[in-house]
Amino acid sequence: MSVNLDWWGFRLRVPHGYVPRPVSAAERILVALFVALVCEMAWLTGMVVWSDNSGVLTRLWTPIALTLLPLALSLLIPVALLENTGIGAWMILTREKGALRNADIWMALTFAALAALALLRPSSSYKATLLLLVFDAAASMATFFFQEHIAIAWKRWPVDVPEWLRRNLEDEERRRERTGETGDVLIPPDANARPVYSLEAITGAIYPIGIHVPDEVLLRLRNINADNHGTLYQRESEAVVLMDRPPVDNIGRDEILRLCAQILSVARKHQLPPLAFANMVLAFVQKAIRYRCDKDSTADFQGGPYDEYGRFAVETIQDEVGDCECTSLLCASLLAYLGFGVALLWVAVPVGGENTKVNHLAVGLDATSVLGDDVSGVGLDLVEATDGSGRRYLYGETACDGSTLPFGCFPSEWKQLRVDKVTPVSLGK
């Protein structure tokens, strides 16, 4: 499960499960080896095609220089420069191959082609150069393989169970003990759930999830929203997201907790790292909820249609549709009850000029909760808190309507967006 992103005009493949950390010296060396290999292949191509007059020393020392120069530069360039130019993001993606997923295959094919070409020119000897190319190619390919298949497996990520979800998992464990079931604890959808959604883990495995929402619960939430003309989320954001305080007073909260417990059981089965876990939730919202404007989707509501209607999470799950505020409120609700630090991001997007803008809502993921205290050099899009706390949030776009975009990525067409307000969502009254 991945998404195309645009850095420097190049399309990169970003896996949802990747775990960015600040650029390390090892990653700099890895990318330098890759750059050196490309330079050496280009040089060798020119030598084989256009010239047979170079000496053995030239053929040996030129590729060595082409290797040492990128290595030296990679260690001298400041991390801040890498982050600001986007190189850092490209380098971080090599940790789990990302954009370079097929680079080792292409390197092997290119090397084979160049070696065959060199052998067709028997009047010249390129043995020293070819040996160096073999070394660089083998080092790069081995490092890519190590990162994707070995290094990630070494780090097993314990998935914490928030206190408010512990009872749900314990109930499922007791049920499994009575029935004699074995294996990972996966909480199934409610017996009479409607609708039943598909949750895709980063490994590509798909699990059914869903909750039953009693008619009286849905009706009471609809009435609260109708009494507030659909704009309660603008004044009482935390009440709408968490449903644990007036005027909601826990209506629909148990249903959302059951859905979160199902999602949590999938994350625990796959021992997902924190950012991969959050990205799984974000991708679920993006793909499961169809985008529809409030005026169209609330035509049958009491007092509708509404020009603005911020659904409670239970409403969005039941309706299967919503616009940006509905999907953002749902995503924030799920993430908050799964134990993440989240915020609502109130966004202004310029359209056709500086004086024209579109108001938009997105969700922010507390960067330190998934990346640690040092978030410099991660190459992801961060939003500063507006309350003076100094917190930084990874930008999350929820209104993708079937496509996916991981946390820390502004939509490519909205590079000029401005976050006017950040509203943290905290559990507890």
Query: Using one digit for the tens of pLDDT, what is the confidence trace for 119-144?
Result: 665 445 566 666 666 666 666 666 66
* Under 8 Å between Cβ of 296 and 305: yes
Residue found by looking up tokens 């930008």 in the block: 395
Region of poorest pLDDT, from 139-143, 255-259, 263-267: 139-143
Highest mean pLDDT among 113-117, 248-252, 412-416: 248-252
**13 phi, psi to nearest 5 deg:** -95, 115
Mean pLDDT of 216-222: 97
291-318 confidence digits (pLDDT tens) = 999 999 999 998 889 999 999 999 999 9
Q: Band of the pLDDT at 381, cuts 50, 70, 90?
A: confident
Mean pLDDT of 359-381: 81
Would you tell me how many other CB atoms lie within 10 Å of the CB of residue 288?
Answer: 19
Mean pLDDT of 50-66: 69
Q: Taking the model in full, what pTM does it have?
A: 0.71
Looking at the predicted structure, is the pLDDT value of residue 50 above 50?
A: yes
For the chain, how far is it from start to end, CA to CA, in angstroms? 37
Rg (CA), the chain: 26
Mean pLDDT of 325-345: 97
Mean pLDDT of the chain: 78
Q: Band of the pLDDT at 151, cuts 50, 70, 90?
A: very low
Cα atoms in the Cβ-side hemisphere of radius 13 Å centred on 106: 9
